[in-house]
């Protein structure tokens, strides 16, 4: 069962998911701190290169299945035109209402 984006607990995470699903790169970047970092499957990646390759040029979509840790940890089905659908885990570090780091990988 999918959790509606509007029902996600943390406002920054809610904006992050909504921006991905709307294909809105500007809104996505606006919810991140200027020095935000990320990892994929345990390896740090260049955030801007990764989001373009994995999300915004390949119609990425995130359908949240569960949330925990006050909305800072998600299990979701992530879909894009490169990899199809996969079950993923997302963990967020929030700083001043913005995301300073996110870690994702297969769940």
> pLDDT at position 64, please?
98
Instruction: Assess whether pLDDT exceeds 90 at residue 1.
Output: no
> pLDDT at position 58, please?
97
Q: To which residue do tokens 């909504």 refer?
A: 18
pLDDT per position as a tens digit, 57-93: 999 999 999 999 999 999 999 999 999 999 999 999 9
Q: Which long-range contacts (CB under 8 A, 24 or more apart) does 69-72 make?
A: 70/9, 70/10, 71/8, 71/9, 71/10, 71/13, 71/14, 72/10, 72/13
DSSP string over 68-102: EGGGTEEEEEEEETTTEEEEEEEEEEEETTEEEEE
pLDDT per position as a tens digit, 15-74: 999 999 999 999 999 999 999 999 999 999 999 999 999 999 999 999 999 999 999 999
Taking the model in full, what pTM does it have?
0.96
CATH number for the domain formed by residue range(s) 5-106? 3.10.450.50
Question: Are residues 73 and 89 in contact, defined by beta-carbon separation less than 8 angstroms?
Answer: yes
DSSP string over 40-68: ETTEEE-HHHHHIIIIITTT-EEEEEEEE
Where are the domains positioned within the chain? 5-106
């Amino acid at each position: 069962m999918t959790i509606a984006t509007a029902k996600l607990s943390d406002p920054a995470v809610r904006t992050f998911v909504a921006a991905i699903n709307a294909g809105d790169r500007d809104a996505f970047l606006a919810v991140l701190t200027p020095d935000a970092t990320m990892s994929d499957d345990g390896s740090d990646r260049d955030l801007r290169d990764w989001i373009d390759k994995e999300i915004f040029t390949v119609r990425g979509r995130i359908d949240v299945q569960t949330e925990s840790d006050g909305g800072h940890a998600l299990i979701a089905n992530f879909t894009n035109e490169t990899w199809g659908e996969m079950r993923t885990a997302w963990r967020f570090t929030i700083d001043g209402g913005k995301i300073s780091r996110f870690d994702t990988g297969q769940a």
